Chain A
Amino acid sequence: MLDLLTSHFNAVFTSLRLRGKISKGDIETSCEQIRQALLESDVALEVVESFVAQIAQRSIDALALIQPGSNQAKAVFEVVNSSLVEILGGSARRVRFSKNPPTVIMLAGLQGAGKTTLAGKLAKFFADQGNTPLLVASDLQRPNAVTQLQILGQSIGVAVFAPEAGNGVGDPVKVAQAGVEFAKAKQYNMVIVDTAGRLGIDVELMKQAGDIRDALSPDEILFVVDAMIGQDALRTSQAFLDGVGFDGVVLTKLDGDARGGAALSIASLTKRPIMFVSTGEKLGDFDIFHPDRMASRILGMGDVATLAEAAKAAFDGDTSAKLEAKFASGQDFTLEDFLDQLQAMSKMGSISKILGMLPGSGAMKKAIDSLDEGEIIATKSIVQSMTPIERRDPKVLNGSRRSRIALGAGRAVSDVNNLIDRFSAAQKMIKQVRNGATPAGIPGMAGMGMPAIAPKSAAMRPKKKSKSGNPAKRAQEQSQ
């Protein structure tokens, strides 16, 4: 997602950086390019016009203020970045919990936006944090929406309140109300109400949504919207704002290649924060939305904060501590450690997802997309086909062991050789890092995919420290 915006913004700033001194004309040209990029990314026309006018004015103001000779392109970049963060709603907002449980969350949106799936994801998200959510099936319109919610609830172990079978029968307002009563009686601390999809111009159904709201007075009403929506985002979000009102927005299907303009349109028009994004068909594919990180991504600065969080979650404390201790005590990094790292890394998601969060990844987008995820699996299978002794000490790997491993992993012997060569190179590198006293950085990140990726990018490898020609000085260096 956002690739198109990112690449356009990249182009704009690359040409601005080459300028050195930026004139009003340059800003106008850049703004026209930005306008085009935003329109192609489905940002609503009105929003595009006001946004572009705003950054043009702010850039001119900013350039008038800065010292001559300082970096002008950087000043413009900061203007655009802060304007993007501002339009996207500043900092991330969390769900407000009610002082008197249950906290009631109501979902609303167009047909097919992904409300029912999202209800399941929200329930899982909050259940994982120790809450006790109850799902309420108030979509009585779409055939078997109730069954769908029941199946989702079952798969995540969350209770579903569904007194009506749906399929056009039953009163969604009564179901929602009874659901909240049920939650109070049974001490659930949270209620998530799924509702039927409705069009913004459907007066009757909008009134029904309003009735559900009035009956429940929910703590949060979330407007669920498909990230692929186009210019209609404006009309529809306005209609829902007028019809039910909402406190926050959830963008779904962000794992597609949608250009994400809806995020800008809706946030800017409704002044309601985007609170969550949904990024896949599995119930765990769900994130809190961070406007600043989104702006970074649009501007091609990557999303290191999310990456670091994902890493922290995936590499559990024990593994990292063990590895750090090992690192400090001067022991070798073995294939066993490597396997731990690979496994932790798969927990973080696909390699392309991880690389996509790095700064400048927009430029390597094609390469990232064509990355073979299978290689990681193949690498894992090779290590898993080794005995513990072999993993600890690859030196024992003679020809017959290697061919046995290749057979076990279903790979060619050359693949095994290749892995071991790359691993030895990585091992050497780690020794150098240790001796060169470069800080280990994020715990556990040191080994991240090293044999698989590091040899391809020289930039990520620490340079070997040059040794002094003076023996006394060299001894001093080495003792450091």
Chain B
Amino acid sequence: MALFSKLIAKLKRENSFAPADWAQLEKELLASDLGPTLTTNFLSAAKKVKSDNAEAALLEILSNNLALTSREPIVVPGTTTIMVVGVNGTGKTTSVAKLAALYKGSGKSVVLAAGDTFRAAAVEQLRTWADRIGVEVVCGKENGDPASVAFDGAKAAQASGADFLIIDTAGRLHNKNDLMAELAKVKRVVEKLSPINEVLLVIDATTGQNGLQQAKIFAESVEVSGVILAKLDGSAKGGIALAIESELGIAIKWVGTGESEGDIAPFDPNAYIKGLIS
């Protein structure tokens, strides 16, 4: 039987590991939120790789699918403007604070704009972070116009010649057209003063297949240039980020790994991929 299946595999130009190996890998990919379609695609691609074992073959395919884009954070001369977006509760405000702490720690000057004027006390939350880190924060009124806060932030950053302006925005579900339009407006208004160089989408590592739709729609409305994969310190593997990167070509740039300001790191593809199938 084994001989026979090896023969068939050879005829199909597939490598010949035990079906049990593949079944196990399929389980792990599915359990990592890669989604059934991508899982099937990756597995059938891996079966065509010449390799010592099934896992190595799969790892090769996975890293090929990740290496498509540059994941260098964008930095420009003068003020680099970053806008952080995402659905509710993914960790936008915390990510903004972490980025600010990171840049501040490397000797850069940072200005924050508290663009989440909707959720109760979100502005306060960012202000508390800013005080802790020791950076300037521009706030508007609660329930005020987020675009005007962001614009004021851009003005302040320009005036003080800051190296980075990081704009926090309110969480919004991507299927709410009016809120997505509001986000596009924030970008438009800020860009009257200076271009937004980087739009980072925060994806919660626990997110399921819905994450792909989130990325698609956010990218349509504000040209997302990178992903922050938050909460990767939990039991979730964050496979949806790979789906986003391989299907939409948006690079994963940062990972969030805790609640303190230092818990952020550049995305490490190898560690991530190993995590997916372990």
Contact = CB atoms under 8 A, between A and B. Distances in A.
Interface of A: 36, 39-42, 44-45, 110-114, 117, 141-145, 147-148, 150-152, 155, 167, 199-201, 226, 228-233, 235-236, 239, 253, 255-259, 261-262, 281
Given A39-B30, A232-B236, A253-B87, A152 B35 contact: no
Q: Closest 4 interchain pairs by CB? A: A230-B208, A112-B89, A42-B208, A148-B121
A256 B173 contact: yes
Contacts of A45: 27, 30-31
Chain A, interface SS category: loop
Contacts of A114: 88-89
B25 to A, nearest CB: 13
Contacts of A233: 206, 208
A117 B170 CA distance: 14
A228 B87 contact: yes
A235 B31 CA distance: 10
Contact of B91 (A44, A112, A258): A112
Interface stretch (B42-50, B209-217, B267-275): B209-217
A230 B240 contact: yes
- Find the residue from A42, A141, A228, A235 having the highest chain B CB count within 10 A: A228
B206 A232 contact: yes
A257 B207 contact: no
Given A199-B231, A228-B207, A232-B234, 13 more contacts: A36-B36, A42-B209, A148-B124, A151-B120, A167-B128, A199-B233, A228-B204, A230-B33, A230-B207, A230-B208, A255-B176, A256-B175, A257-B210
A41 B119 contact: no
Contacts of B91: 111-112
B16 interface: no
Interface string B18-45: 0000000001001111011100000000
A145 B27 CA distance: 38
Nearest to A41: B209
Contacts of B124: 143-144, 147-148
B206 A236 contact: yes
Given A113-B89, A256-B173, A258-B210, A142 B36 contact: no
28 contacts: A36-B36, A40-B36, A40-B209, A41-B209, A42-B209, A45-B31, A144-B122, A144-B124, A144-B127, A147-B120, A148-B119, A148-B124, A151-B121, A155-B120, A199-B234, A226-B89, A231-B32, A231-B236, A232-B33, A235-B236, A236-B234, A253-B89, A256-B210, A257-B174, A257-B175, A258-B208, A258-B210, A259-B209
B33 A231 contact: yes
A143 B125 contact: yes
B173 A226 contact: no
Nearest to B176: A255
A250 to B, nearest CB: 13
Nearest to B123: A144
Interface in B185-215: 204-211, 213
Contacts of A199: 231, 233-235
Contact of A229 (B127, B206, B259): B206
Interface in B76-124: 87-91, 118-122, 124
- Find the residue from A142, A144, A152, A257 having the highest chain B CB count within 10 A: A144
A167 to B, nearest CB: 6
B256 to A, nearest CB: 10
Interface residues of B, number: 45
Interface string B216-246: 0000000000000001011111011000000
A114 B231 CA distance: 15
B234 A201 contact: yes
Contacts of A148: 119-122, 124-125
A230 B35 CA distance: 9
B129 interface: yes
B259 A141 contact: yes
A110 B234 contact: yes
Nearest to A200: B235
B31 A259 contact: no
- Find the residue from A150, A226, A236 having the highest chain B CB count within 10 A: A226
Contacts of A144: 121-122, 124-125, 127-128
Nearest to A43: B208
A231 B208 contact: yes
B278 to A, nearest CB: 14
A261 B89 CA distance: 19
Nearest to B142: A151
Contacts of B173: 253, 255-257
Contacts of A150: 121
A218 to B, nearest CB: 23
A43 to B, nearest CB: 9
B129 A152 contact: no
Nearest to B35: A40
Nearest to A255: B173
A140 to B, nearest CB: 12
Nearest to A120: B120
A275 B231 CA distance: 26
B174 A256 contact: yes
A191 B211 CA distance: 35
Contacts of A147: 120-121, 124-125
- Find the residue from A142, A199, A230 having the highest chain B CB count within 10 A: A230
A230 B36 contact: no
A233 B91 CA distance: 18
